[in-house]
Structure 1
């Protein structure tokens, strides 16, 4: 019953020295509100406003207090889902079901400074292969902005779909015309020179990368 909201609240109060009456007053309720909820089961569920306020106060997910799993910021953190596909910096990874589960949680203000896209348009994808080394190595996790592509295309690193595979490459736009060179940062791999922008199947722009050290 560790996932019971009543058990969670009682444990948090014991661990952090909080009292039921104080939490009730914080919620704008009568002093017995939380005690009745925990000890007597009244009400059966916390209201949405009370649940959210308690989750933010304790910096925990609303799901621990009976709320649905979602992508709402909790404690100033925004969860981003990870796709169960890999973007190849090599021969190419075959995409399948791209629906994933929350994998990273980023500081909300930091994330807004990185991209204007909502969290639902962001995805974590793992890199495989070495064609983008040393910038990106096999096993690196990259944050891909799915809303930063097509009309906004500019110099940078992107995830592209090529022959039903996902690849991560650097794009260098030509000064004139709708042409682009698709580059590998590893000089051992050839570039794709003079490609038409309209020929690219762009998935999203890589805006952040994380890796294991050592």
Structure 2
């Protein structure tokens, strides 16, 4: 307990030093950080008062905002890496990474590699991102590409699917991206009794089930938040 309290106090001191160097003075800094990280000032005040250390996703967001590293804030690095006045140069940008990965809205796409490459990022203003994704960190939102027609007319092949990757298991009925066995899918999952129904919005595809005996083959990659339709028109 004493060690945990010391860790929190040390964190608050490093945070205050990094903020000062970045150009965030003590007056108003908690409110500014809270606004940019989409948190309450009370939650942020706990970091400065030595009452709490943010969890991994928010810790990375906090470090990136100030211009330092999570390692420095946690005491695992001696150099803060902060450029003087960094906060004055931070743009109002929320970046969502687009992954080189197609999720099948069809019979399933085969998993070829465990390595997924980031192709590029889509940028939103923080205000717009909040209206789309709520208080989720940009680390928790990724973009996948739909491949196939089993979820038509909800999704079309080529649509971009914004997924909350912090969801790693079935929570409530909804659209999920997941791996079953060795194939990728994007389907609607619904709990029916003790079975998980896998549903396609396209009536041409039959529903199937994941049972207790086969649930160890299910790996949830994330839950769908919104999608962006890609349409092309001939002139």
TM-score by length of 1: 0.60
Partners of 1:211 and 1:80 in 2: CA distance: 17
Change (3 A) 1:99 1:192: same
Partners of 2:183 and 2:145 in 1: CA distance: 14
Q: CA deviation at 1:165?
A: 2.1
Q: CA deviation at 1:167?
A: 0.6
Task: Describe how 1:6-85 pairs up with structure 2 within 5 A.
Answer: 48-54=83-89, 56=90, 74-75=91-92, 77-85=93-101
TM-score by length of 2: 0.55
Please tell me whether Structure 1 or Structure 2 has the larger radius of gyration of its CA atoms.
1
Q: Is the 8 A contact 2:188 2:200 kept in 1?
A: yes
Partners of 1:139 and 1:210 in 2: CA distance: 9
Establish whether residue 186 from structure 1 lines up as the match of residue 202 from structure 2.
Answer: yes
Partners of 2:109 and 2:222 in 1: CA distance: 16
Q: CA deviation at 1:195?
A: 3.2
Change (3 A) 1:139 1:173: same
| Aligned equivalent of 1:118, options 128, 137, 143 | 137
Change (3 A) 1:82 1:94: farther
Partners of 1:172 and 1:130 in 2: CA distance: 19
Task: Report SS of the residue matched to 1:120.
Answer: helix
Task: Report SS of the residue matched to 1:137.
Answer: coil
Q: CA deviation at 1:108?
A: 2.3
RMSD: 2.7
Partners of 2:211 and 2:201 in 1: CA distance: 17
Q: CA deviation at 1:92?
A: 2.2
Establish whether residue 134 from structure 1 lines up as the match of residue 150 from structure 2.
Answer: no
Q: Is the 8 A contact 1:157 1:169 kept in 2?
A: yes
Q: Which runs of 4+ in 1 moved over 4 A?
A: none
Partners of 1:180 and 1:194 in 2: CA distance: 5
Structure 2 portions without partners, runs of 5+: 1-22, 25-81
| Aligned equivalent of 2:219, options 181, 198, 201 | 201
Task: Report SS of the residue matched to 2:122.
Answer: strand
Q: CA deviation at 1:110?
A: 4.2
Q: Name whichever of 121-130 and 87-96 sits farther off.
A: 87-96
Q: Name whichever of 124-133 and 190-199 sits farther off.
A: 190-199
Task: Describe how 1:99-178 pairs up with structure 2 within 5 A.
Answer: 99-113=117-131, 114-150=133-169, 153-174=171-192, 176=193, 178=194
Q: CA deviation at 1:49?
A: 4.2
